[in-house]
Structure 1
């Protein structure tokens, strides 16, 4: 039997590339062992068949950013029912058009950005990329978000003028925003500087009670038709 060697070493023998390039091939998910992709350069092989997939490139893998349709009831952070638990390979949206290849290295160290309240649903961002996380943190107050809010109750007299004419929340003025009726029980908000409880407060101010909140858009990135509980990659070309 052939002596066991590291997979990266076998790739060097197979291709004549450098050791560092061999590790990039393996970490990039371009190497198969008996037809199965293996992403660990230290994986030991003996007589197995090692091969490179078509189009293999020894490029450093970009840190991943994932867009999740968070269902209501999932905590955005480390609560008892964390949304992060939904970011698993089997929940990837089949219609993800990003062309990103699914890799094990994309799942560790994902951090939430601009989280949602536990009872809210809709678009959430998780990223390994410090640039994305910093941008969303720095621009949180300036980035327009779109929400659908289901409501019940009756609009108070002159309530619409009060809603659109400016108000305060927690002692601070609310930045100008757009609001419109989608139907008799649903409002659409395009708003900046969203804080926990703000949308519910705006509804309460005019005699309505918010029964469900769903975020459809963050800046230029939309939820589209992605079902609840599924996720997709954010392509490098898309910007918030």
Structure 2
């Protein structure tokens, strides 16, 4: 069996919900596995989709079920302007149509075909560009676009208009769209009229509408990061698969609510260690004359050699790495 675990909950739980809670698959995927007879309870094939597993019962997935889940494709795509993320209108080109062997950057164990049902995980409108994640993975979809998702997204936005501190304060907190208060956002100035947005939600055309409310017009909008996945190094119009390690990291970031923003450094208090028994100062607190001074004379023969290079030895040189290339903001 590919995946086996014994349920230990205090109350019975539907099998599809438990598999989703364990991060094995989505509820819909679990129902599909049950329908095909790929799930077993205590060694017997489960046939009832609404079955509730009880404390002490063992659930197993067959090897075929594991292969089916492992073969789900997830990829990141550098979407250009003019391409739509989801269902296209007449005359529009959907992003999924550009996912083929010719547009692959690097290597992939499989090329998406007609049988693959890749869905965009997150909005990125036609006039915007940048990182778009597409996947068949229901667990990943819930982590990225579920109603309780806390995954951070980073955007670089070029605007027209006067960028003032008052406008930045409103963008960070204080605006509402469609009668609902927005979650707090981190908005900073990169340079001039180029701003960086860090959001944990994805309303329809959210950044453009936020800027409109403070009399700023968006000229260019680019998503450069989703959680730990960065667009750096992926050319425009190209895609690459998301590895199992990157998938696990995405789920970990979402569960913990991690942020790429550096936090304030923590200054630790100095640790005072007690002096050795033979070298403690007298009870009065005064140290004997000469205490703490370095001895005069030649160093001991058993002392460790100096780390300073000798006159004839070459000095260590640090290698400076070139800055990583990033797609410029138009």
Q: Same fold judged by TM-score > 0.5? A: yes
> d(CA) in 2 for partners of 1:129 and 1:161?
37
The TM-score, its normalising length taken from structure 1, stands at: 0.67
Q: Is the 8 A contact 1:145 1:192 kept in 2?
A: yes
Q: Is the 8 A contact 2:77 2:131 kept in 1?
A: yes
* Residue among 71, 84, 97 paired with 2:80: 71
Residues 1:170 and 2:182 are matched in the alignment: no
Could you tell me how far 1:139 is from its partner in structure 2?
5.6
Moved >3 Å (runs of 4+) = 102-107
> d(CA) in 2 for partners of 1:228 and 1:191?
23
Residues 1:91 and 2:100 are matched in the alignment: no
Which structure 1 segments of 5+ residues have no match? 1-58
In structure 2, do the counterparts of structure 1 residues 185 and 155 end up closer, same or farther at CA, with 3 Å as the change threshold?
Answer: closer
Could you tell me how far 1:147 is from its partner in structure 2?
0.5
Q: Is the 8 A contact 1:88 1:107 kept in 2?
A: no
Q: Whose RCO is larger (CA < 8 A, sep 6+)?
A: 1
SS of residue in 2 equivalent to 1:90: coil
In structure 2, do the counterparts of structure 1 residues 220 and 73 end up closer, same or farther at CA, with 3 Å as the change threshold?
Answer: same
In structure 2, do the counterparts of structure 1 residues 228 and 140 end up closer, same or farther at CA, with 3 Å as the change threshold?
Answer: farther
Could you tell me how far 1:180 is from its partner in structure 2?
0.8
Residues 1:145 and 2:153 are matched in the alignment: yes
Q: Is the 8 A contact 1:145 1:215 kept in 2?
A: yes
Q: Is the 8 A contact 1:65 1:127 kept in 2?
A: yes
The residue aligned with 1:28 is: none
For the aligned residue pairs, the C-alpha RMSD in angstroms reads: 2.5
> d(CA) in 1 for partners of 2:121 and 2:149?
13
Paired residues, number: 179
Describe the superposition over 1:91-129 as per-residue Cα deviations: whole angstroms up to 9, x where unpaired: 1113x6xxx424466972222211311111111111122
Could you tell me how far 1:196 is from its partner in structure 2?
1.5
The TM-score, its normalising length taken from structure 2, stands at: 0.49
The residue aligned with 2:195 is: 187
> d(CA) in 1 for partners of 2:119 and 2:168?
38
Q: Is the 8 A contact 1:140 1:193 kept in 2?
A: no
The residue aligned with 2:287 is: none
Q: Is the 8 A contact 1:156 1:207 kept in 2?
A: no
Could you tell me how far 1:216 is from its partner in structure 2?
1.0
Larger Rg: 2
Describe the superposition over 1:153-204 as per-residue Cα deviations: whole angstroms up to 9, x where unpaired: 1235832333334221221111111111111121000111121222112222
In structure 2, do the counterparts of structure 1 residues 233 and 207 end up closer, same or farther at CA, with 3 Å as the change threshold?
Answer: same
